[in-house]
Amino acid sequence: MRRALTLTTPIYVAGHTGLVGSACLRLLARRGVSRLITATSAELDLRDRDATREFLRRHNPQVVLAAAARVGGIAANAAAPAEFLSDNLRIQLSLLDAARELRVPRLLFLGSSCVYPRDCPQPIRESALLTGPLEPTNEAYAVAKIAGLVHVRSVRREDGLPWISAMPTNLYGPHDRFDAERAHVLPALLRKFHEAIRSGAGTVEVWGTGRPRREFLHVDDLAAACLTLLERYDDDEPVNVGTGEDLPVADLAKLIAATTGFTGEIRFDPSRPDGTPRKLLDVGRIRALGWRPEIGLEAGLAGTYDWYLRHQEVAV
């Protein structure tokens, strides 16, 4: 590890109970990092600026992994755009302002591939940021994340702190949300197919036409990418993190049907929104640092479904 990530360096994982934060925490623990700082949302509301500042002052982290966010799929974003915008802006401002005040030496802010314009050239390079209109169905969330990216870049330029940002593609894995209304497409479909089998339903309905193409990265691969970036990257340009491969949502639905054992009919509902037509990331920058994803989609789906079966009572 580089100097900022010795095994005794205090590292604060913000959002450690979520999909991304829990994966980063697992990996850091496996690597033997002994001073991991965490707080649940009940213990620390990151929207509270004073509480966040006091928490960081008390624990004095030397690295902050900013994985805390309010997240959701198309339905959740469409239902509550003001809440997605407000909550994410407040979380980011509280955390980044407190870390800046305390001059935390190293911080990794996690954005999202939804920050890119809806119709930009594919695969999407980092330079496409702020070059066109956003996808309307997740505009509020995207604007909040863009603000975080600009915040990190501004702190670098004004204060000289080596903070960095990453833009992950669509993620999945253990500790995801699996409810149909709030979840992203992959976990929502996984639960739909599982419940169809349990209820004996002969069909599963999938939102949209099935034609949009999506890229999916297992969250454990993202965790490894985060450590690679903290160890090897220092620049004000954000970095894409993905597999460099995508597939139509219709093919994803077939894969999930096979994973769960569903043998009925898959129906698409074109009256529901498709979202962005395609969202494939150019991952040349992070691959140049030596990182590669290791978990294929079929194996990742099987492991995620196994986790869901063992944790259905909390997978909401």
Q: Residue ranges for the binding site?
A: 15-21, 110-113, 145, 168-171, 184, 192, 207, 214, 274
Beta bridge partners of 63: 11, 106
Q: Are 190 and 308 in contact (CB under 8 A)?
A: yes
Torsion angle of C-alpha atoms 135, 136, 140, 142, degrees rounded to 10:
0
Beta bridge partners of 307: none
141 given a catalytic annotation: yes
Write down the catalytic residue from 12, 116, 141, 308: 141
Helices 249-260, 297-310: crossing angle, 10 deg rounding:
50
Residue ranges at the known binding site for substrate = 192, 207, 214, 274
What are 192-196's contacts with CB under 8 Å, separation 24+? 193/256, 193/257, 193/259, 193/260, 193/262, 194/260, 194/305, 194/308, 194/309, 196/262, 196/264
Which residue is associated with the tokens 């604007």?
A: 143
Number of Cβ within a 10 Å radius of residue 308: 18
The answer to whether the Cα torsion of 113, 114, 117, 120 is positive or negative is positive
Residue ranges at the known binding site for NADP(+) = 15-21, 110-113, 145, 168-171, 184
Q: Are 305 and 259 in contact (CB under 8 A)?
A: yes
Catalytic residues: 141
